[in-house]
Amino acid sequence: MELSLSGRNAIVCGSTQGIGKAAAIELAMLGASVILVARDEGKLKSVVEELQLYSGQSHAYIVADFNDPELLKTKIEGLTKHTVVHILVNNTGGPAPGAVIDAKPDEFVRAFSNHLICNQILVQSCVEGMKREKYGRIINVISTSVKTPLRGLGVSNTIRGAVANWSKTLSMELGPFGITVNNVLPGAIMTARLEAMIKLRSAKSGKTEDEVMQAMEAEIPMGRIGDPKEIAAAIAFLATPAASYINGINVPVDGGRTACL
């Protein structure tokens, strides 16, 4: 099974913490040169230093904020003028929690821009190089909510579904060029976002944070919260030559929590 990514270049968004950082490390371990994308330059420099442990590769970063799509476009197009991107991992923090009925229209607009519009900008900037190389892997980190909407995440449920259908459409259009497009759907993963949600639920319910976490774990057949490295492993596999015939699918990585196939 061919898992080496030697000679491949990867962009990983949201890569200074959590799932994005874990994915960047995993891709570097398989031999890819990684370009990190995030807002905090200090954290980006720190992660690049970690990645330099993997010899024979050259890692870099781009400072960009998904709240400014035009600046993101300028910076990504500047990169792809001289660098072929073989792997694109679209990953960004989710919208704030809350009931969908209480959401303001601009919350949907902002989330749509951050998640779908910015993904589109990145894909359009990278796809010509992927076509020339006859190798492309576009991997979108979304949520299990595209299969079963999650309570209290109204805006997120809405936007994640849009991204999933955008992705499926792309997979049909780009498949003939040797480019695959797939979604990884994390379940309950121990990230800063999950920690914030636990605190919020604790404050609203009057339960302790431990009690909230135990209730979450009770819903998961494997009986535990996941680790970002476990999501990164799925992302990395989909990026490899071994995954060349996997296209247009949703891959839940959730310990079996999602109640549908």
Digitized pLDDT (tens) for each residue of the chain, 261 residues in all: 999 999 999 999 999 999 999 999 999 999 999 999 999 999 999 999 999 887 678 999 999 999 999 999 999 999 999 999 999 999 998 898 899 999 999 999 999 999 999 999 999 999 999 999 999 999 999 999 999 999 889 999 999 999 999 999 999 999 999 999 999 999 999 988 888 888 888 888 889 989 989 989 999 999 999 999 999 999 999 999 999 999 999 999 999 999 998
Q: Is the pTM of this model over 0.85?
A: yes
Tell me what pLDDT residue 197 has: 82
**DSSP string across the chain:** -----TT-EEEEESTTSHHHHHHHHHHHHTT-EEEEEES-HHHHHHHHHHHTTSTT---EEEE--TT-HHHHHHHHHHHHTT----EEEE--PPPPPB-GGG--HHHHHHHHIIIIIHHHHHHHHHHHHHHHHT-EEEEEE--GGGTSPPTTBHHHHHHHHHHHHHHHHHHHHHGGGTEEEEEEEE-SB-SHHHHHHHHHHHHHH---HHHHHHHHHHTSTT-S-B-HHHHHHHHHHHHSGGGTT--S-EEEESTT-SS--
Tell me what pLDDT residue 55 has: 65
Tell me what pLDDT residue 261 has: 86
- Amino acid, single-letter form, for residue 28: A
Tell me what pLDDT residue 254 has: 97
Tell me what pLDDT residue 196 has: 82
Top-tier CATH class for 9-187+227-253: alpha beta
Give the angle subtended at the CA of 114 by the CAs of 109 and 117, to the nearest 5°: 85
Residues of the chain with CATH 3.40.50.720: 9-187+227-253
Report how far residue 51's alpha carbon sits from residue 47's, in angstroms, rounded to the nearest whole number. Answer: 6
Lookup result for tokens 């949520």: 143
CB–CB of 180/137 below 8 Å?
Answer: yes
- Amino acid, single-letter form, for residue 59: H
